[in-house]
Structure 1
């Protein structure tokens, strides 16, 4: 009994720290973005392995370090191939489904360039004579393909998060390739100027998002779930932004030999930023339904494949319900039962004494 009360208290505290009054697993399933979860999870694993490998805490080949990134690209290529096979088998096609399918193919093509870049980078890290400019060459083709993809996406009202990220780093990619091959001998603070400019612009975007979330929270036309969701997302994005800036600042000082700390410590802010972004994938609905030919959201497909998850997907949890349950448990606890026994015994003794007490009958006769 006390164990159940302890776990209920832990669940309530963890819940209140996250979203406040109520947690609904059904809402978690509906808002889960599988694509972004895979991306951020693989990036988090890669950053951890890379920091340990640079410090030589682990001495494996760089191929093992790049496994998380290649797993991500392998899922993309496998999902695209399965989606193409499902598309060829489909007879009736609607316009929105066609746009989703083309968007999936374009995304897979863009990430193929990233895959080639990662392979060449791994080869270079192992000591090959390949120049960094050659290793970065797939990214230059990626820039051209991304520009074409952006034009198509804007015409068809599609999401362009990845494309905008790539195009905004054009100068940074060029500066990095030239600096690594020593064509320019600038300090790394100057090499990363395009990235600092991008972070400043991103800071205004984050500030706008925070103001928007606060306005939504105080709005009477939005459901409480939507109000809390906006605040949580704003908090997570702010944490990711601040920790990313800290990581870049420490990394610049490290590569310029201004500080002497291990790379494992340098990468800690980056780990925090990626973990915060990983949490946003659980609250940020989206994703293309044609990956792996599912033709529906990932969670719906998962519930169809694993029917027993439907039982847990319909569970809701609220702190008020836990408080009521704890109150009931407190009333029926051993100490409370002992108090009830004492009260019952005392009341029965008092009643028995009253019954045993004999009151003499007194008659007062008044004179005539």
Structure 2
């Protein structure tokens, strides 16, 4: 494992979203099982933290955008900023849906159809956003999820209001279709990776990338499929499992997604106005971390001059910041200090 590339490709946005969803799912299942008796407003706290970070990041990014006009012409700065605004609009609508859900669960004073109106509206907008994202080479995971599940949201609202009395297995038919397409994609990734492994003309890097994609898709889609089966049986009263036990495959999926966020790359540089990769931003704010991560150690011995030279040990196997030289008169080491570089991928 290359820790340098692991943290260099870290995507803080995905890490925050998946970590908050993992905590919320765990708390919500414990609340449904009666293990905890917290208010639903407290159970939804991880989601409030997620939305607070989104709103705060967009406000700071907008302030930097209008305060420094020279930043607007940096590469694809305008596209990044526009993508951030679109994401904030969708997140605010999602926040409205979550607030209505909490109020419904606490007070039960309106219909579920009214609760799902913001989510259905998000699904309609997401179709246009997906087209825009493809045109400008932007990621659109949340938008794609909402756009393909618009019919599923309508079925859920009708079933919760008892307007339709179908079994939950039937209610989840739109989601079954999406999962079948995902399974087909996983099979394609596995077959493609197997073909590349047997092709001598393909480089080792391409083989490694295809195998990584096949394994990643498999450990995400298969647990989600198992979770959907368990949830359908649980809601149709055919299973004695608790909600916490039913959601174990979902927990596993979120943990995998959290780990994959360390190598996801991408991310919008205008969140909080940092305008650079997250890792480079942290190193520029805290230079001590950069010095600590690139320091080297020299192990000296009292052997004669014709003995083997001292062993140099570095944290990443690259030329150290502190280099030692032997003086002609004595055998003592002389240290030369060099200011650390800002980029972690090309240290001195």
Residue 87 of structure 1 deviates from its aligned partner by 0.6
Asked if the contact 1:229–1:283 (Cα under 8 Å) also holds between the matched residues in 2, the reply is no
Corresponding residue of 1:61: 39
Q: Report what 1:33 is aligned to.
A: 11
Inter-partner Cα distance in structure 2 for 1:84 and 1:126: 35
What is the correspondence of 1:279-298 to structure 2 with a 5 Å cutoff? Answer: 279-298=259-278
Give yes or no for contact 2:189–2:213 (8 Å, CA) kept in 1. no
Distance 1:310 1:25 in 2: 14
Distance in structure 1 (CA, Å) of the matches to 2:124 and 2:47? 22
2:124·2:147 contact (CA, 8 Å) conserved in 1?
no
Does the aligned pair in 2 maintain the 1:237–1:276 contact within 8 Å?
no
Does residue 123 (structure 1) correspond to residue 103 (structure 2)? The answer is: yes
Per the alignment, residue 131 of structure 2 pairs with 151
* Residues 1:242 and 2:222 aligned together: yes
Structure 1 residues 292 and 255: alpha-carbon distance in aligned structure 2, compared to 1, 3 A threshold: same
Partner Cα separation in structure 2 for residue 217 and residue 106 of structure 1: 40
Q: Give the one of 186, 203, 213 matched to 1:206.
A: 186
Match of 2:58 in 1: 80
**5+ residue gaps in structure 2?**
295-314, 318-348
Q: 1:90 to 1:208 in 2, by over 3 A?
A: farther
What is aligned with 1:100?
80
Gaps of 5+ in 1: 1-22, 318-368
Shift of 1:284: 1.4
Contact 2:123 2:149 in 1 (8 A): no
Q: By how many angstroms is 1:228 displaced?
A: 3.7
Aligned partner of residue 224 in structure 2, secondary structure: helix
Give, in whole Å, the separation in 1 of the partners of 2:265 and 2:203: 17
Aligned counterpart, 2:233: 253
Q: CA deviation at 1:188?
A: 0.3
Q: Does the C-alpha gap of structure 1 residues 190 and 24 become closer, same or farther in structure 2, counting only changes over 3 Å?
A: same
> CA–CA distance in 2 between the matches of 1:73 and 1:27?
29
Cα distance in 2 between the residues matched to 1:311 and 1:232: 32
How large is the Cα RMSD of the aligned pairs? Answer: 2.0
Shift of the 212–295 alpha-carbon distance from structure 1 to 2, 3 Å rule, reads farther
Relative CO higher for 1 or 2, CA cutoff 8 Å, sep ≥ 6? 1
If the length of structure 1 is used for normalisation, what is the TM-score? 0.75
Which structure is higher in helix share?
1
The total of aligned residue pairs comes to 294
> Which moves more between the two structures, 307-316 or 96-105?
307-316
Alpha-carbon separation, structure 2, partners of 1:221 and 1:97:
36
